Structure 1
Amino acid sequence: MITKWSITIPELTGDEPRSAYVYVPDAFEEDPEARYPVLYMFDGHNVFFDEDATYGKSWGMADFTVATGLPVIIAAVECNHHPDNGRLSEYSPFTFDNPEVGHVRGLGRITMEWLVNTFKPYIDAVFPTLPDREHTFIAGSSMGGLMSLYAVTAYNHVFSRAAALSPSIWFATGRLDRLLREAPIAPDTVVYMDYGSRELPFHSNMKRQFSRVASRLLERGVLLDCRIVPGGDHNEASWERQIPFFMETLLYGVE
């Protein structure tokens, strides 16, 4: 069952509505006492429905979870679509300047404060969740992948596991490295991180930076599942094919 409704994020876009989505396993109807882990996802409009997706192709997360019978709730929120770098701003922990996109004000911390202090408490109050850190995960791709890395490190007291697909780790590399070095990270933290082989050439030194981030996570004791996807690209169709891999990692050993 997927519930879709309109919300606002006053701290970011005032009273402008955007969509929120929650998938709850159908098994809940047969067992109303059941409670489930929660996977929070960025770019919620791309998660479930092709008709809502930016480029007409979603991840199809509900199709996969229904087909596999995975006992997990998925909660996702639409991104900011403003043409003046709205998405980049909300999904960047750091302010930066780029010759292609110009100046981007990093509002990632505000985004996460809203998600942790407003959205998550609502989800826990309304839906049959297991609200503790052990059962709270986060995932995203591209800038959403960067935010997933940010969330599981800067907000490690809330999220125990994260999946970062094709994360945008090609800018603000120094500040990202400092975050990974200094953030308090619990030893049971699990991270899935990948990058497509076809997208590695998109940014100079991408392979080196990917290796650097992976090494830093390993140095911090993170339980890392890291891979280069053969033939993988930077789009929803490619990320959809990675669902079995990152969901296996996120739910592995979870009771």
Structure 2
Amino acid sequence: MVIKKEVMITPFQLPRMLHIYLPKHYEESGERYPVMYMYDGHNLFHDEDATYGKSWKMEEYLDYMETKLIVVGIECNHEGNERLNEFCPFDVDHHHFGKIIGKGEGFMDWVVEELKPMIDTLYRTQPDREHTAIGGSSMGGLMALYSAAKYNHYFSKAASLSPAVSFCYKQTKEMISQYQIDPKTYVYIDWGSDESRNKQQLTYATSRNLEIAHLFDKQGASVYPRIIINGKHNEETWEQQVPIFIDYLFGK
């Protein structure tokens, strides 16, 4: 089942909706579960909540597989460019979106200092690093990579779908190299072949994502980079990857 719960992001003084998936049989099991925190939580479970009317249908998949996992989806800020600001760790001057004021650090400080303790108190979680994951797509995918590096002592697993590393490729590489990555870290990263307009752009995207994967690998992390043939930058493609990254991160 999916529970909606409104919370306050105290650094920004803004209310925000959580979309929390509890595993099948949660109420009667008495078990404790690993937790995956995910960006753009409104797009994860139900079409009627999704920005473009198409969700990842994660509830259906997790219920069908009886996956023992709690998913905490954090809805984005829908006002203007605030999603870009909150889901970017760096200040960026973008050729299309203009100036992005990176609020990602403040957002993630709130996640680990306030949200995670609240979830661990309200629900039967396995709160240790080994059983805590982070994930998202596009700007959320960028934030998953950022969180897996800077907040590595909280998250041992990350799913980065179609990460928007082109926004701040140099800063992202420098950031990953700056932090010590625990070898017991698992990073899934993918990108679709049809996200790029031509072969040259696809070559650039592939090179960037493989370089990011290499930086994690160089520190001993386990990394699963993959290109999705005919994959697009949309919920339909990302829905199809749910079984793959869930199995990679939690199927061991």
TM over 0.5: yes
Which position in structure 2 is the counterpart of 1:39?
Answer: 36
Structure 1 Cα separation of the partners of residues 225 and 234 of structure 2: 19
Matched ranges for 1:203-222 at <5 A: 204=201, 205-222=204-221
Structure 2 Cα separation of the partners of residues 152 and 107 of structure 1: 17
Instruction: State yes or no: 1:158 paired with 2:186.
Output: no
Which position in structure 2 is the counterpart of 1:237?
Answer: 236
**From 22, 27, 30, the counterpart of 1:24:** 22
Code of the residue aligned with 1:182 in structure 2: it is: Q
1:122-175 CA distance string (max 9 Å, x none)? 100001100000000011000000000011110000000000000011122221
Q: Which runs of 5+ in 2 are unaligned?
A: none
CA contact (8 A) 2:35 2:70 kept: yes
- CA shift for structure 1 position 10: 2.8
Q: What is the percent sequence identity of the aligned residues? A: 42
Structure 1 Cα separation of the partners of residues 9 and 212 of structure 2: 31
Which position in structure 1 is the counterpart of 2:48?
Answer: 51
Structure 1 Cα separation of the partners of residues 93 and 104 of structure 2: 15
Q: Which runs of 5+ in 1 are unaligned?
A: none
- CA shift for structure 1 position 92: 0.3
More helix by share: 2
Which position in structure 1 is the counterpart of 2:65?
Answer: 68
Structure 1 Cα separation of the partners of residues 195 and 36 of structure 2: 26
Which position in structure 1 is the counterpart of 2:7?
Answer: 7
TM-score by length of 2: 0.95
CA contact (8 A) 1:200 1:207 kept: no
Which position in structure 2 is the counterpart of 1:133?
Answer: 129
RMSD: 1.3
- How many pairs does the alignment contain? 249
Which position in structure 2 is the counterpart of 1:106?
Answer: 102
Structure 2 Cα separation of the partners of residues 208 and 156 of structure 1: 24
CA contact (8 A) 1:196 1:228 kept: yes
- CA shift for structure 1 position 248: 0.5
TM-score by length of 1: 0.94
- CA shift for structure 1 position 215: 1.8
For the residue of structure 1 that corresponds to 2:167, the secondary structure is coil
Code of the residue aligned with 1:36 in structure 2: it is: Y
Instruction: State yes or no: 1:187 paired with 2:186.
Output: no
Code of the residue aligned with 2:124 in structure 1: it is: P
1:35-85 CA distance string (max 9 Å, x none)? 0000110001111111111000111111110010100001111101111x1
